[in-house]
């Protein structure tokens, strides 16, 4: 059962197809476990998708320790293929990560960048035994990584569009309620619309309240109470 490491400062919002990439890599001969580490440029999002508890621990460890193959690939965008973790150079490069990976039973790692139009979106990590992952399968992982990067970029773009639309809707809703309050005050106090709006704005500023909140109170609240109550009729 794949493990998804929950982000500490970002909700895990990755789509199911992206998650399945890590699982699919397990079908490649020689791969023992795999994981995806996502990034916002050079900064990791601390979002982990892994196919085993051990792989999940190693992916999160790279974020916590700021070292490891995925971490390096997220910085450089350069493929790291069949890196022997017991090699003294790997031990010197990743003094805390490499021993932990060996303790989990993996002697080598291959990290493939997730890139789309020059943007680094993360890295795909494959844990295996040294010399047990053939070059052809590494090439297949690169194709998978390119597809995954495209899906991630598409997902991020759709998220930005949805956020922008939500902001526009909020602005529109605010404008509508303010215009309603302005018209209601103009009728209630027998003022020109612009003067009604000026009074509404002055009232909100004097009380350090949002203009939309005051406008909502004027429109939805009782006419005889709250901001600008209806004047008593002349006797």
Render each residue's pLDDT in the chain as its tens digit; 235 residues: 333 333 333 334 556 666 777 678 778 888 898 888 887 655 555 456 777 888 888 988 888 888 999 889 988 889 999 999 999 999 999 999 999 999 999 999 999 998 888 888 888 889 999 988 888 888 888 888 888 888 888 877 888 888 899 989 988 999 999 999 999 999 988 999 999 999 999 999 999 999 999 999 999 988 878 788 888 776 4
Give the pTM: 0.64
Question: Does residue 45 contact residue 32 with C-beta atoms inside 8 Å?
Answer: no
**Using CA atoms in the order 187, 192, 198, 201, what is the torsion angle rounded to 10 degrees?**
20
CB atoms within 10 A of CB 90: 21
**Which has the closest alpha carbon to 122: 62, 33, 165?**
62
């Amino acid at each position: 059962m794949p493990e998804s490491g929950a982000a500490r400062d970002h909700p895990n919002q990755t789509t199911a197809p992206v998650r399945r990439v890590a699982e699919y890599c397990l079908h490649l001969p020689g791969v023992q476990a795999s994981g995806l580490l996502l990034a916002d440029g050079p900064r990791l999002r601390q979002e982990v998708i892994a196919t085993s508890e051990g792989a999940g621990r190693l992916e999160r460890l790279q974020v916590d320790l700021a070292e490891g193959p995925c971490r390096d690939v997220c910085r450089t965008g350069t493929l790291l293929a069949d890196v022997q973790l017991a090699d003294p150079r790997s031990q010197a490069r990743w003094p805390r990560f490499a021993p932990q990976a060996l303790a989990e039973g993996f002697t080598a790692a291959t990290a493939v960048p997730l890139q789309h139009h020059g943007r680094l979106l993360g890295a795909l990590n494959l844990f295996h035994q040294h010399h047990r992952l053939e070059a052809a399968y590494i090439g297949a992982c690169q194709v998978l990584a390119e597809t995954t990067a495209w899906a991630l970029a598409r997902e991020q773009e759709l998220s930005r569009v949805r956020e922008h639309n939500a902001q526009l809707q909020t602005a529109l809703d605010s404008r509508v309620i303010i215009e309603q309050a302005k018209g209601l005050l103009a009728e209630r106090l027998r003022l020109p619309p612009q003067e009604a709006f000026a009074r509404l704005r002055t009232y909100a500023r004097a009380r350090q309240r949002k203009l939309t909140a005051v406008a909502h109170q004027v429109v939805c609240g009782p006419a005889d109470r709250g901001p600008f109550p209806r004047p008593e009729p002349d006797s």
